[in-house]
């Protein structure tokens, strides 16, 4: 505990030579529990943010800023910070300055995720998040307004938009206030700017496809890339590589591995959304069909049915997809089309191909026999296997206290993004 506290207060420390005793000890302390180290740093960062908010207005601090901080601290597996951390460690960084910066940037990633989830619940009109009332529901209730009333709904959704905005502001502030050498700040700044815009673009494409009721397979993959792969996997890995001062070739290979792993995750999550057991996945099976989510699975099924001239299959999709009142029989018919058309098998093959490519590209980027490389390999495999996946990792891939969570794999929030 003392070691990690020392790390959190060493933001202004001068870098020590790589491999020296104290630097290795601090990095190894975080290695043992990356998620815990990020959480402790988040508590310190967010306590400062809430204190600043309280100087502006007590009700703003207690009702909005405090809720944003609590949401960020409560729940999730800190997958993005863990990818950032092990990307940095796999590239050889272990000095105190990089260690401290990685933890703060991990908090910034968690705040971006808070923004995304709060706004997503508003857009999807979701009532629950992580088994608790969604932020817009909680804000309306806190104000003494029934969430389903006109006034309550208007207040709750508007206040939640502000809460998401505040999380994004805090994320940017956290990046801006992190001590970084000028060249590293320049690299990370470019990645950060791209990531924020890509996240919004992916969400927009998803909304647009859902509203228009149609999306090609290519556009569905593009949406998955922007909404999940880049923001959740590739960019955190690239930030870690930048912190370590990795060269262009290494960074490109890590980015490619992250993109493939992230898309594979989304494809497997789409399959679980249709064929998964709710008792295992934690979310209803078939909701993606009822909501008309423009998934790659749906796009492939439509394209295959059109190419085969299968009017019956197209009629089944037309009757149930995007229909909130679709019956269980209707959902079963859609699943039958996904199976009979070969769409399910194609998506499974594509996810496996992407997983294999991710592992191969990772091996080209870092030494997967070294400690950091082993941990990153296990994490990338877990992501590629999808929510709750069990990658075929060797025993060496699970060394270290942080490894078991990595091998168990990520989970998803209700909208399908990596937690």
pTM score, whole prediction: 0.86
SS3 136: helix
What are phi and psi for residue 128, nearest 5 degrees? Answer: -125, 150
Residue 38: other Cβ atoms inside 10 A: 25
Give residue-wise pLDDT tens across range 230-271.
999 999 999 999 999 999 999 999 999 999 999 999 999 999
DSSP-assigned letters across all residues of 28-50:
HHHHTTHHHHHHHHHHHHHHHHH
CA-only gyration radius of the chain, Å: 22
What are phi and psi for residue 356, nearest 5 degrees? Answer: -65, -40
**Cβ-based burial of 3 (10 A; exposed 0-12, middle 13-18, buried ≥19):** middle
DSSP-assigned letters across all residues of 282-350:
SS-TTHHHHHT---HHHHHHHHHHHHHT-HHHHHHHHHHTT-TT--HHHHHHHHHHHHHTTHHHHHHHH
Residue written as token pair 């998401």: 164
CA distance 75 to 73: 7
pLDDT at 21: 41
Question: Mean of the pLDDT values across residues 378-382?
Answer: 96
pLDDT > 80? residue 214: no
Q: Which residues, in sequence order, are bridge partners of residue 412?
A: 418
CA distance 396 to 306: 47
Give residue-wise pLDDT tens across range 28-85.
999 999 999 999 999 999 999 999 999 999 999 999 999 999 999 997 889 999 999 9
DSSP-assigned letters across all residues of 233-260:
IIHHHHHHHHHTT--HHHHHHHHHHHHH
As given in the structure block, the two tokens for residue 182 are 């000028």
Give residue-wise pLDDT tens across range 274-289.
998 877 766 678 888 9
CATH 1.10.1840.10 is the classification of domain 1-179: no
How distant, in Å, are the alpha carbons of 1, 11, 24, 27 from that of 21?
18, 18, 5, 10
- Name the pLDDT band for 126 (thresholds 50, 70, 90): confident
Mean pLDDT across the chain, nearest whole number?
87
DSSP state of 356: H
| Cβ-contact 397, 370 below 8 angstroms | no
pLDDT at 92: 93
Nearest CA-CA partner of 269 in 287, 284, 281, 260: 281
As given in the structure block, the two tokens for residue 105 are 């940037």
pLDDT at 388: 56
Chain centroid to CA 296: how far?
A: 19
SS3 267: helix
CA distance 101 to 269: 32
């Amino acid at each position: 505990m003392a070691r990690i506290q020392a790390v959190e207060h060493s933001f202004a420390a001068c870098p020590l030579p790589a491999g020296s005793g104290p630097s290795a000890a601090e990095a190894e302390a975080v290695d043992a529990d990356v998620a815990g180290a990020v959480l402790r740093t988040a508590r310190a960062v967010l306590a400062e943010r809430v204190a600043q908010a309280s100087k502006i207005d007590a009700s703003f601090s207690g009702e909005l800023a405090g809720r944003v901080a609590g949401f960020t601290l409560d729940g999730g597996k800190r997958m993005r910070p863990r990818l950032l951390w092990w990307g940095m460690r796999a590239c050889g960084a272990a000095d105190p300055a990089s260690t401290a910066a990685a933890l703060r940037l991990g908090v910034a990633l968690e705040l971006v995720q808070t923004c995304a989830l709060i706004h997503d619940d508003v857009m999807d009109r979701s009532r629950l998040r992580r088994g608790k009332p969604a932020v817009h529901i909680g804000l309306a209730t806190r104000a003494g307004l029934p969430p389903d009333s006109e006034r309550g709904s208007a207040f709750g959704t508007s206040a939640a938009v502000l809460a998401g905005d505040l999380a994004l502001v805090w994320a940017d502030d956290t990046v801006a206030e992190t001590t970084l050498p000028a060249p590293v700040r320049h690299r990370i700044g470019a990645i950060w700017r791209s990531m924020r815009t890509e996240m919004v673009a992916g969400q927009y494409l998803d909304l647009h496809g859902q509203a228009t009721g149609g999306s090609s397979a290519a556009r569905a993959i593009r949406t998955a890339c922007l909404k999940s792969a880049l923001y959740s996997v590739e960019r955190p890995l690239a930030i870690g590589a930048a912190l370590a001062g990795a060269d262009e070739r290494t960074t490109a290979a890590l980015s490619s591995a992250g993109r493939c792993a992230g898309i594979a995750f989304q494809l497997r999550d789409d399959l679980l959304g249709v064929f998964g057991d709710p008792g295992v996945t934690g979310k209803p099976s078939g909701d993606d069909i009822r909501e008309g989510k423009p998934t790659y699975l749906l796009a492939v099924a439509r394209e295959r049915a059109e190419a085969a001239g299968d009017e019956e299959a197209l009629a089944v999709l037309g009757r149930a997809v995007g229909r909130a009142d679709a019956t269980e029989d209707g959902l079963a018919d859609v699943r039958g089309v996904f199976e009979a058309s070969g769409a399910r098998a194609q998506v499974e093959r594509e996810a496996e191909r992407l997983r294999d490519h991710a592992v191969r590209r990772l091996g080209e980027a870092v030494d997967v026999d070294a400690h950091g490389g082993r941990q990153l390999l296990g994490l990338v495999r877990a992501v590629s296997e999808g929510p709750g996946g069990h990658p075929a990792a060797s025993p060496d891939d699970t060394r270290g206290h942080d490894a078991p969570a990595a091998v168990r794999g990520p989970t998803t929030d209700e909208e399908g993004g990596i937690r």
